[in-house]
Chains A and B, each alone.
Chain A
């Protein structure tokens, strides 16, 4: 360290803020290490499992009870149950998949049929690069 720098350090004296920050960081490091040892221990995992077990049982029970009560209410109101709606949603996804396959099949067929008209420009070439974004429809291809 140069003489001038040393002189400057002496003139500045003790930086209380820096010392406090160093002490805090050292404390946090030590705390982090202790916590890490704790949370990595099998004893901690066992404790967590011990606490989770009854909580999860209670939540499952509550969920089952509310669901069956709600099903009863909905049935009395002649409305579809939660299960019905979920099944419907899964069927919709299945239909979406089939439509996607059909769309892709048609597209492949269209590309494989030779036409006298000028061939359809591939999407890649249609891309105008630096221009504004143009939206592709999900069913386009």
Chain B
């Protein structure tokens, strides 16, 4: 009886915490991307942000770092939440940090292609970055499709001051389509990209989300919620789940032209690796990429399996190049709870060695 009296209030408070957490995660959005920053340049939907440095200029690294994320998800994954933010980590380490955010493509951006992003947006953002930072050189970090854009830029504009290039889970090589589940999903026998774009204009966010989740349906549609239910009374896990869930369900449409190019030239044509890719009439030759290169591969990545970037080092013209294999999946490698111990220190150490 005494034991029951003791446990009842404990059980009640636990249940009420769990219910409260459940209501919170299902009815609200987590606040993500909280590191202070200022918009220093805009063009159409794109915005270049500069993160407010926390260290005085003399303690900062000399070479600024520009982050470029994918086109179909929000870049806030790089700054998920305080204590689990790559951006916050890098700012605290003394980097002059910039982020090129692509914004949300609208109906007027249907015809925007990779050419526009690589040759119109990135060079102008870089020009602004140089003007603001006062540095003639810069480092560039690209993640996912951002890594494709960064690679194209680095190959086409090798003499614009790019000192080093960091690629995270870069989908560049489409030779082994049987291992690349997204390539199978977009196989020309089953998937008509032109018909899809005719129907929607841009690639809708919902379809991108569905496609990505169907690569691991049980884990994505059920497993995540089971993990949440198991940990509903653990505020740390709930907070982290809430932030990630907010980001995952906040996908954005991908400009039709760029999507078409990704499917036809990359997933089906593998033109970059074959050396037949042209961007606005300019041939993209990976041997022209001469900046120092760090190629980060996530060992458990099911969206960009390791085979998609493993051959990059032998193709580029860089003399200073390194491959880094880290445990984790496509997103977890940089935003997972273990990323701050497994990935960030290694990536940061490499960047630090190329930033002064």
Contact = CB atoms under 8 A, between A and B. Distances in A.
30 contacts: A21-B230, A24-B226, A28-B222, A32-B219, A32-B223, A36-B216, A39-B214, A40-B184, A45-B185, A45-B190, A49-B191, A52-B192, A53-B192, A53-B195, A56-B192, A60-B199, A82-B107, A85-B108, A89-B108, A90-B108, A124-B135, A129-B54, A130-B54, A133-B37, A133-B38, A133-B52, A135-B39, A138-B40, A138-B42, A141-B131
Contact of B134 (A21, A31, A36, A123): A123
Interface string B11-40: 000000000000000000000000011111
B354 interface: no
Given A39-B215, A45-B190, A97-B124, A59 B57 contact: no
Interface string B185-202: 101011110011011100
A124 B134 contact: yes
Interface in B121-149: 124, 127-128, 131-135
Interface string A105-141: 0010000000000000011110101100111101011
Contacts of B196: 52, 56
A8 B36 CA distance: 52
A32 B217 CA distance: 7
Given A31-B218, A122-B134, A141-B131, A59 B199 contact: yes
9 A-B pairs with least C-beta separation: A124-B134, A49-B190, A141-B131, A32-B218, A89-B108, A59-B199, A129-B56, A122-B134, A136-B40
A100 B135 CA distance: 19
Contact of B189 (A46, A82, A101): A46
Nearest to B219: A32
B311 interface: no
Interface in A13-57: 21, 24, 28, 31-32, 35-36, 39-40, 42, 45-46, 48-49, 52-53, 56-57
B120 interface: yes
Nearest to A89: B108
Nearest to A25: B226
B199 A63 contact: yes
A50 to B, nearest CB: 8
Contacts of A36: 216-218
Interface of A: 21, 24, 28, 31-32, 35-36, 39-40, 42, 45-46, 48-49, 52-53, 56-57, 59-60, 63, 82, 85-86, 89-90, 93, 96-97, 100-101, 104, 107, 122-125, 127, 129-130, 133-136, 138, 140-141
B107 A138 contact: no
A56 B199 contact: yes
A93 B215 CA distance: 36
B198 A60 contact: yes
Contacts of A136: 38-40, 50, 132
A29 to B, nearest CB: 9
B127 A104 contact: yes
Residue with the highest number of chain B CB atoms closer than 10 Å, among A40, A82, A130, A136: A136
Contacts of A134: 38
Contacts of A40: 181, 184
A60 B197 CA distance: 9
A48 to B, nearest CB: 6
